[in-house]
Amino acid sequence: MEEAEKMASLKKAYADIILNMAQESAARILVSERKALGFQQSLFAAKDEALSTLLRLKTIMESKIKEAEKASLGQVRRIQELESQLNEAEDTIDSLRTELKRMNDKLEKMKNITGSSDVENMNTISCEDNSRERNQFSFCSLLSSGVRANIN
């Protein structure tokens, strides 16, 4: 019977050891599952934060794009305005050149008609530039009253 008691106590000791190991393993599994759940929650929180950051970044980028488009549109309008002014100035220049050529032709005719002695006594053409900024020019006027009468 001693041996039976020894075997029973040995079996009980093994059973206790196995039970303790099972309890420790279950406790470790629970801790691991809690950690896994914590990591999963952290992962979801990081994903949400990343998503909200991306949405804010998208909003900022859209705002910057709209500002750039407004600035670009303003610059395009300014360029068109300046091109229009340039075209007007070129037209004015062409007109003035035509007028100058016409006046030079009249002057040549006057020189040919009046002869060289009267031409020597004539004052030269005086050109007044009243306002270059507004592209308005007061054209040449002849100072000699005799020449003026012949031109008109």
Tens of pLDDT, residue by residue over 114-137, are 865 444 444 444 444 433 433 444
pLDDT of residue 114: 81
pLDDT tens-place string over residues 6-22? 999 999 999 999 999 99
Higher pLDDT, 47 or 138: 47
Q: What is the DSSP string of 35-99?
A: HHHHHHHHHHHHHHHHHHHHHHHHHHHHHHHHHHHHHHHHHHHHHHHHHHHHHHHHHHHHHHHHH
The pTM of the full predicted model, rounded to 2 decimals, is 0.47
Provide the sign of the torsion angle of the four alpha carbons 75, 77, 80, 85, taken in this order. Answer: negative
Give the pLDDT score at 116.
52
Confidence at 145, pLDDT banded by 50, 70, 90? very low
Per-residue pLDDT, 95: 97
Find the range with the poorest average confidence among 76-80, 94-98, 102-106, 148-152: 148-152
Q: Is the pLDDT of residue 143 over 50?
A: no
Is 36's pLDDT higher than 60?
Answer: yes
Q: What residue spans define the domains of the chain?
A: 41-151
Span 54-99, pLDDT tens digits: 999 999 999 999 999 999 999 999 999 999 999 999 999 999 999 9
